[in-house]
């Protein structure tokens, strides 16, 4: 596995296509979902062509091969985030389902009316709505850490909220709008000192930064395959084994049981205890290939590449009159630039950029409360990944000048 | 696609016609597309025979949503209440004169949605298209 970031762009077949006839594609929407390298596409294709059968308990060659490939991916993921055991890698549908699993299983077993949960103003809806639902159903109270004008968490306010002895603190590792990389280790240490468990939404961090659960300080970590070169339809909940052992089962069905009688059932061992029904096998195989691909590149190198790119992008964007980029300076953020252009609605920005083949996202990026915090209806967002280059940034900037001219 | 932002649309966006509010009015209605943050309010004044004598809109949003509101205001001057209620999606698309992707259709049709909700609301009905 020797890949180099300098040449990795050619590993992604889709990046060779044109956006429109004669117009090259400049893909700056990886924060929503990344593109897939040839190795991931091939792994999934090979799986269906050569190895598919249902996993576990099959006593024939295909079932054994499918099980080995699917379970092998779990080992890859375990190594990727440095989990203590493969039992701690629970496959879900995506990061959203992983957070919901914690809300439905752990929270309902451990929280009661009046207990507090601390969230932040910069959360994705996926880390807000499950807790809204919980608040509506069992009466937990939600507190929110404010975001400063610079796009950072207000740490003094956080410390004050912790004095109210929350049972859970749940926050994003990296904001999908501001790009802010939160200081997870210190936030988690403070939360633990206050007696709270810590859930980290890693949907934006695990694809872009080295994440080691042994040093992160989280009790729960959620992430999605499709944002990290893998397929849609599979995500991961990591939690420490003792927590998972103590948690009640989530969904019921095949695979999550050890034994079923008419009178009841006995749950299966970890990780299967939380994986009911036939899993997303091909997607698991794809996730394994994605993790192997990222491991080959090295997450330190990926993070450094994106840091360099966002530094350059902020420089170039901020020199355009009327452009305002939200969030902290480059050294505090990942490869995400949410911006506005004076006098032009973000949808119009995105539509005109698309004519030049530049794909950005426009809207609230599933973070409406954060947009409200900055008194914005919407922003345009360029998000970068390992295959983006300075040329992509330059094309974005050229196209933004075209937007300005059109709407002048 | 090339004429998505054709002169007519940009002109109505940059220089909206009938922008403002009316007091008194026969009906007023306000709605939004929460997913994109577009907001629109339309006020209409009818004469004794139920024809539009004046209409006005305020709101914020993308060029497509704002231009479609401006074009629609222009179109309905003198129209009867029945004509307002009979307006449909194709009328608005004809005014804009462009092909819209599904994602942008909502922007274009917000003005129609608001106008019809107001027109039906006058007699306590709701827009049967919604």
Report pLDDT for B6: 84
Report pLDDT for B1: 43
A20 close to B (CB below 8 A): yes
**Distances in whole angstroms, Cα of residue A128 to Cα of each of A67, A111, A124, A368:** 35, 17, 7, 10
The yes-or-no verdict on residue B68 having pLDDT over 80 is yes
- Rounded CA separation A252/A273 (Å): 9
Per-residue pLDDT reduced to its tens digit, A26-65: 999 999 999 999 999 999 999 999 999 999 988 999 999 9
Q: Cβ(B42)–Cβ(B114) under 8 Å?
A: yes
A348 close to B (CB below 8 A): yes
The maximal CA–CA distance of chain A, rounded, in angstroms, is: 72
Per-residue pLDDT reduced to its tens digit, A379-408: 999 999 999 999 999 999 999 999 999 998
Q: What are the residue ranges spanned by the domains of chain A?
A: 8-30+298-407, 42-296
Best mutation target among B15, B38, B39, B62 (most A Cβ atoms within 10 Å) is: B62
Per-residue pLDDT reduced to its tens digit, A105-131: 999 999 999 999 999 999 999 999 999
Burial of B19 (0-12, 13-18, 19+ CB in 10 A): middle
Per-residue pLDDT reduced to its tens digit, A368-377: 999 999 999 8
Mean pLDDT, residues A94-106 = 98
B104 close to A (CB below 8 A): yes
B106 close to A (CB below 8 A): no
- Rounded CA separation A122/A159 (Å): 17
Mean pLDDT, residues B99-106 = 86
CB pairs under 8 A between A and B: 45
Q: Report the top-level CATH class of A42-296.
A: alpha beta
Report pLDDT for A3: 61
Per-residue pLDDT reduced to its tens digit, B43-56: 999 999 999 999 99
Q: Which residue has 């939404």 as its token pair? A: A201
> Which has more confidence, B33 or A208?
A208
ipTM above 0.90, yes or no: no
Q: How confident is the model at residue A289 (pLDDT cuts 50, 70, 90)?
A: very high
Q: Cβ(A40)–Cβ(A230) under 8 Å?
A: yes
How many angstroms away from the CA of A347 is the closest CA of chain B? 6
Query: Would you tell me which residues 24-43 of chain B have a C-beta closer than 8 angstroms to some C-beta of chain A?
Result: 34-39
The residues, any chain, with a CB within 8 Å of residue A318's CB and separated by 6 or more, are A325
Report pLDDT for A1: 44
Half-sphere exposure of A226 (CA within 13 A, CB side): 14
Q: What distance lies between CA A208 and its chain's CA centroid?
A: 9
Q: Which residue has 């911006």 as its token pair? A: A339
Per DSSP bridges, beta strands A197-201 and A168-172 are parallel
B98 close to A (CB below 8 A): no
Architecture category of domain A8-30+298-407 in CATH: Alpha-Beta Complex (3.90)
Best mutation target among A32, A341, A347 (most B Cβ atoms within 10 Å) is: A347
CATH number of B7-121: 3.90.1010.10
Q: How confident is the model at residue B31 (pLDDT cuts 50, 70, 90)?
A: very high
Residues of A in contact with B5 (CB under 8 A): 348, 351-352, 406
- Secondary structure tally for chain B: helices H, strands E: 5, 3
Per-residue pLDDT reduced to its tens digit, B74-84: 999 999 999 99
> Which has more confidence, B5 or B4?
B5
Mean pLDDT of chain B: 91
Q: Do B5 and A378 touch (CB under 8 A)?
A: no
Residues of A serving a catalytic function are 366
Report pLDDT for B103: 81
Q: Cβ(A54)–Cβ(A64) under 8 Å?
A: no
The yes-or-no verdict on residue B34 having pLDDT over 90 is no
Per-residue pLDDT reduced to its tens digit, A298-350: 999 999 999 999 999 999 999 999 999 999 999 999 999 999 999 999 999 99
pTM of the model: 0.94
How many angstroms away from the CA of B57 is the closest CA of chain A? 18
CB nearest to B5's CB, from A346, A352, A364: A352
Report pLDDT for A5: 85
Q: What are the residue ranges spanned by the domains of chain B?
A: 7-121
CB nearest to A355's CB, from B1, B10, B38: B1
């Amino acid at each position: 596995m020797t890949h180099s970031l300098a040449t990795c762009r050619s590993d992604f077949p889709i990046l060779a296509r044109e956006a429109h006839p004669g117009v090259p594609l400049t893909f700056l929407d990886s924060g929503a979902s990344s593109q897939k390298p040839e190795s991931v596409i091939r792994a999934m294709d090979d799986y269906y062509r050569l190895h598919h059968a249902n996993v576990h308990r099959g006593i024939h060659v295909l079932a054994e091969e499918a099980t080995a490939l699917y379970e092998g991916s779990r080992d890859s993921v375990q190594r990727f985030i440095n989990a203590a055991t493969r039992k701690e890698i629970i496959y879900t549908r995506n990061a959203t389902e992983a957070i919901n699993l914690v809300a439905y299983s752990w929270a309902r077993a451990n929280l009661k009316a009046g207990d507090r949960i601390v969230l932040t103003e910069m959360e994705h809806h996926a880390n807000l709505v499950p807790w809204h639902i919980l608040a509506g159903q069992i009466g937990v109270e939600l507190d929110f850490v404010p975001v400063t004008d610079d796009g950072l968490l207000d740490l003094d306010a956080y410390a004050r909220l912790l004095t109210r002895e929350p049972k859970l603190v749940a926050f994003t590792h990296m904001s999908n709008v501001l790009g802010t990389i939160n200081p997870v280790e210190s936030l988690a240490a403070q939360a633990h000192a206050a007696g709270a468990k810590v859930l980290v939404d890693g949907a934006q961090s695990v694809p872009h930064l080295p994440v080691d659960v042994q040093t992160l300080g989280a009790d729960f970590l959620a992430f999605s395959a499709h944002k990290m070169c893998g397929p849609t339809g599979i995500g991961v909940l990591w939690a420490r084994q003792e927590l998972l052992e103590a948690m009640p089962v989530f969904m019921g069905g095949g695979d999550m049981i050890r034994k079923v009688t008419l009178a009841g059932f006995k749950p299966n061992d970890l990780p299967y205890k939380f994986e009911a029904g036939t899993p997303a096998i091909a997607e698991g195989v794809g996730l394994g290939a994605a993790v192997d691909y990222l491991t080959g590149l090295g997450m330190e190198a990926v993070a450094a590449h994106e840091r360099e790119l966002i530094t350059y992008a902020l420089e170039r964007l901020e020199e355009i009159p009327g452009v305002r980029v939200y969030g902290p300076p480059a050294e505090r953020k990942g490869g995400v630039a949410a911006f506005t252009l004076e006098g032009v609605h973000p949808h119009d920005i995105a539509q005109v950029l698309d004519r030049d083949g530049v794909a950005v996202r426009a809207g609230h990026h599933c973070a409406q409360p954060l947009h409200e915090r900055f008194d914005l209806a919407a922003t345009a967002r360029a998000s970068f990944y390992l295959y983006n280059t300075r040329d992509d940034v330059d094309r974005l900037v050229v196209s933004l000048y075209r937007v300005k001219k059109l709407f002048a | 696609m090339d004429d998505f932002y054709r002169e007519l649309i940009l002109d109505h966006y940059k220089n909206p016609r009938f922008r403002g509010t009316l007091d008194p009015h026969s009906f007023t209605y306000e709605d939004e597309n929460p997913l994109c943050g577009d907001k629109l309010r339309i006020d209409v004044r009818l004469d004794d025979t139920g024809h539009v004598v004046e209409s006005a809109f305020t709101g914020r949003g993308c060029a497509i949503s704002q231009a479609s509101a401006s074009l629609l205001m222009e179109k309905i001057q003198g129209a009867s209440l029945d004509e307002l209620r009979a307006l449909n999606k194709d009328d608005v698309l004809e005014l804009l004169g462009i092909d819209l992707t599904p994602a942008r259709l909502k922007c274009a049709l917000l003005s129609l949605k608001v106008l019809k909700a107001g027109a039906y609301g006058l007699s306590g009905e709701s827009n049967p298209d919604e």
